[in-house]
Amino acid sequence: MKEQSDIKNTEVAIVKGDTPKETVLKGIEILGGIHKFIEEGDQVFIKFNLCLPTGFPTNTNFDVLESLIASCKKAGASKIYAGSFPFKGISIDTISNLLNLKDYFSNIGAELVFIDNSNVFKEKNFKKDQLNEIKNKSFSMVTINEKEYLVPKIITESDKFIIVNQVNVNPLFKLNLSLLNSYSIVSPKYQEIGSNENLDNDYISYDQYKNDLISNILDVFTIKQPNLVINDFFYLLESAGPYIYRDSNLKKTGIAVIGNNAVSVDLITLKLLNIDIQDYDLILAANQRGLGIIDPQKINLLGEKIEDNNIIIDLCVSKLKDINLKNLLVNSGRFCSGCYKQAYHLLNFMKTYMTKDLKYNPNNAFLVGQNPLEPEHFKNILLFGDCAIKSTKNSNFRKIEKILKKNTANQKKSKKLKKSGSQKKEKIKVKTNKKILELPGCPPDILDCLELLIKYYGKKNLPNLSFYKKILETIVNPKEKENLRVMGVI
């Protein structure tokens, strides 16, 4: 199962074209044609980006997928499957319905695989043991580095495995590259990183969250290494991503990088996009584990030259406060990548979809991480993550002081007294500040945070979020969520 790709014969093509479709096909040709990767009768699994039921470039470019599927068919593939695990809490069936993907794939000669079995359990009401049976039939448990991963059998049993990755900016890894893409062959549950239950300081200092994440990504990558890897950045989502946010911009580069080794393809993509590989820990770790070469000299480079294509892109902001929301101040303490990633998405969601809500509810402070700076004179304080909640238990803002007023008769008296020069003592009462919203989790879950925001501010004060929540309800179905839980997907 743990195949090693032939890293000594790594070939990578840099291709430029007029359309994404043409670019990818040209790349495969430069590498020797599709027959080099797919043999007659092969069962092929294409792993693509299937994150949310939204438009391009959240998911892979369907024109690229279509041309790749046509090529595989031409090469004699007996069966072509395509799939991926989406964003936590959303089933493939929901995305397929909203984008009509099942029929679309079938029309272009492939089959969309419901690797979460969501197409099965929507048909009828299964009992728990029946769901477990379905789970056992479709998944196998793979242990790597003493960690267990539930992997769809259809992927491990396929003869050939292809990754088609849409390159977008990413808050944690700068870019969504193919190594990261391969992580969603396991379900969101198995992608999760265990929480820092004791709120250990070292966990944050060493950014254990990110280290564990990198280690898990590489573990999963070794389960099934791809035969062909496509990093498509003909169009690249820059500034804010990998989902479409207010600050997102689509940059047209006209380029794709294609090869037979994911690490090398990612490396060349980084080079083209002017990102120092020393800043891309995932690739360094992959190299350490012998999963690919990070020396471009040792890669057989075909097509365009790196030095002729100097592409500058805007990456995600590196500081949460730079997301720059109106009426919301961000104070960060010490935090790890877990909270950074989730806070990044929550803040971008708020900036994109909750402008009116923020206008209606001014003076918010958003505190994240351990011991964030105390906010002063803020109406609402949002504590994001367990670290922020626990480390501020005794902070001044937790209490408010109230000066008790005298009745009018007393006040009149006191005025007279003041005039005559005497001092009156004021009575101060200390109360618990109730204008605090705790968003727990290590790191917190975005959908849970949205629920808590509505509860705290009230529907009336959040017209935007109340509306989008109703839309979200058409996507996230509680019954389906329960089934996904039993299935081991979330």
Partner 1 sequence: MINKKFQKNWLKILNYNSNIELGDKFKLVDDKVRIPLTPIEVNPYLLYYLFETLYPKFINSQQNILDIIISDDGKKIIKSYLYKTKKAGIHESIEIFPHDIIKVHKKDFEDIERFYDRILGGLIKKKGARVSSIRVFKEKAITYINQHCIDIEDLPFDMLLLKFLDLIQKLVKQDLFVLYPEPKIFRFLKDIINFLNGYQLNSLFKIFYPLLPEFNISIIFGSQELIIILHLQKIFVSKSETPYLRLKLMLPNELDINLDGLNENEIIGLVRERLQTDNTYFINQRDVISLLTELINLPVNIREENLLLILQKILFAYRSFEKHWFLRPKPIIYNNLLRFLLRIIGFNLNLRKLSHWAIPDLISNLFESWFGLNSKILLIISDTEKYKKLNLNNFNYLEKVTDYMLLFEIENKTLVKINSIAKEDLFTNGEIGSLESIRDKLSEKYGFLSSIIIIDKLLLQNLIKHFVFEHSEYAPISKIRTLKMLKKQKFFYIFPELPLYKLIQKKGTIALLKLVLPILIDKHEF
Return residues touching ligand SF4 (CB under 6 A).
195-196, 203-204, 209, 335-336, 338-339, 369, 385-387, 442-443
Residue number with CB closer to partner 1 (398 or 469)? 469
Identify the CA nearest to 193 among candidates 283, 291, 88: 88
Residue number with CB closer to ligand SF4 (336 or 490)? 336
Task: Give me the residues paired with residue 399 across strands.
Answer: 432
358 sits near partner 1 (criterion: CB under 8 A) = no
Angle of helix 337-353 versus helix 463-475 axis, rounded to 10: 110
Computed on alpha carbons and rounded to an integer, the radius of gyration of the chain in Å comes to 26
* Binding at 57: pick from partner 1, ligand SF4, none (beta carbon under 5-8 Å per type): partner 1
Task: Give me the residues paired with residue 46 across strands.
Answer: 82, 162
Residue number with CB closer to partner 1 (57 or 152)? 57
Binding test (CB under 8 A) with partner 1, winner from 16, 79, 99, 482: 99
- 218 Cα distance to chain centroid: 17
Stretch that binds partner 1, among 74-82, 91-99, 195-203, 297-305 (CB under 8 A): 91-99
Q: What angle do CA 114, 117, 119 make, to 5 degrees?
A: 75
Residue number with CB closer to partner 1 (84 or 138)? 84
| CA pseudo-torsion sign 322, 326, 332, 337 | negative
The span from the first CA to the last CA of the chain, in angstroms, equals 25
Q: What angle do CA 12, 182, 223 make, to 5 degrees?
A: 100
Work out how close the CB of 444 gets to ligand SF4 at its nearest, in angstroms, rounded to a whole number: 8
372 sits near partner 1 (criterion: CB under 8 A) = no
Residue number with CB closer to ligand SF4 (82 or 172)? 172
Q: Restricting to residues 105-164, name those near partner 1 by CB under 8 A.
A: 107-108
- What are the tokens at 71? 């090529």
Residue number with CB closer to ligand SF4 (241 or 443)? 443
Stretch that binds partner 1, among 183-191, 204-212, 301-309, 472-480 (CB under 8 A): 472-480
Give the 3-state DSSP-derived string for 253-299, with helices as H, strands as E and coil as C.
EEEEEEECCHHHHHHHHHHHCCCCHHHCHHHHHHHHCCCCCCCHHHC
Work out how close the CB of 361 gets to partner 1 at its nearest, in angstroms, rounded to a whole number: 11
Instruction: Please report, as ranges, the residues that interact with partner 1 according to CB under 8 A.
Output: 19, 21, 53-58, 61-63, 66, 97-100, 103-104, 107-108, 235, 237, 244, 246, 248-250, 252, 352-353, 355-356, 359-360, 460, 463-464, 466-467, 470-472, 474-475
